[in-house]
Structure 1
Amino acid sequence: MSISALIKKGWEIYSINFQKFLVPIGIMLIPYILYFLFLIFGGPELILLMLILNALMVVINLWIGIVIIIMLDKLYKNQPIDLNKIYEIAFKKIPSYFLVAILTALVIIGGLILLIIPGIIFIVWYGFANYAVILEEKDNKGIAALKFSKNLVQGRWGATFWRLLLPALALYLVVLIVIFIVSYIITGGNFNLESYNQSLIINAISSLITLILTPLFVSFSLILYNNLKETKEQARTETPAQI
């Protein structure tokens, strides 16, 4: 799948089904709203509540992140969406998803510490481990998910790298432009980086826009993951058996 086709397909899934993502996005938004309210009206006495809220944000982000991945996968495959069932499945997968995220991060950080290039290689190799642990029927927990991801990319690292990088980079630039424009309108162009209130507003805007676009961000790599699987399977079936 070409990069342009990848972006087009991701936008198509996101735009057509945007309303279906509103509830998951809303759930993710709740702790952020509470967080900003605490920052505005809270004081030292609310530090414990802030710590609890931060922990809650991590759990909710993991949970809804899995929900969005499952939703996008079903939408890509034209399968029906049962949100209640997806919520239940996603919640059960939080521990294994978290473990794979930790393992992937450790491997990538290790590669970046050694040299930048190994870290970049590892990012592409193991970038689909989170999808493997969530979407594959067979047991792909922990190291198995990382191996699955690497096997998927093997022999196609360069093409995968550009298809991971360019759509995400393009969307990231769009997000930055939108944040700048909205912030400019709100502040009247009088940016003051030392202003606590302005920083709070800009952070809130950034968080809101990022949350709204999260399914679109995820859609690009999710579509690529499925495409890699499809082409890998196709290549396997078309390759004559070795005697």
Structure 2
Amino acid sequence: MSVAKQKENSEKISSNTAKLVLVDDEPGLREAVQAYLEDSGFTVHVASNAKQGLELVDQKQPDLVITDVMMPQVDGYQFLKLLREDPRYKALPVVFLTARGMTSDRIQGYQAGCDAYISKPFDPDELVAIVGNLLNRREATKTVPADGETPDITELASQIAEIKSLLTGRTGIPQSPSPIKVDLTPREQSVLDLVAQGLMNKEIARRLDTSVRNVEKYVSRLFSKTGTNSRTELVRFALEHGLTK
């Protein structure tokens, strides 16, 4: 692939400067994959083992994780299991890189919950294409309702009001939030507070004096950080864990 074509493709699939976490215990391969992904426009944070990988995921809140399967102490399957046990990362795309390419190995990987399984050695262009496809699909499912139509703002506001009512209970006193901590930027917090009021992206953009596209990006990040897939799920999660009022 030419440098110009590679740049063109990377601009399409990483226009939001997607953040990736790469976990691999082989320094040479880790550095090579990191360099290629960064040349393709991604921001890549690396870890040499699963423990470091989990810490990085919590710190960086990536859009996608790439991990080796065969690692000492905690392998890729256990690493993925630990990720999926956290509600924030249930929908986080995970790509397996492994030297084990048998059909049974691939089946095991997909049954474990990975989104793509790439056998070593692999073409780095294929990895970039898979990463881009997963990111684009995730973005599309978060910004477009399942039925392809704009949600009714009155219905959404009603659902949010019902969620708030259920969570406060008859006493009107909110339930104590769980100890889950989600680090939000000031702008993400502002967007979350407005989403919790039942506002749609156009109205939020007007309130914050920004573009609808930027609001979509912040809402997508909120979905990623909370492991939710819809605005109502996001609001419920935020209320349950004291992220908004």
TM-score for both structures, normalised by structure 1: 0.24
Higher strand share: 2
Q: Which structure is higher in RCO with an 8 Å CA cutoff and minimum separation 6?
A: 1
Task: Give the TM-score taking structure 2 as reference length.
Answer: 0.24
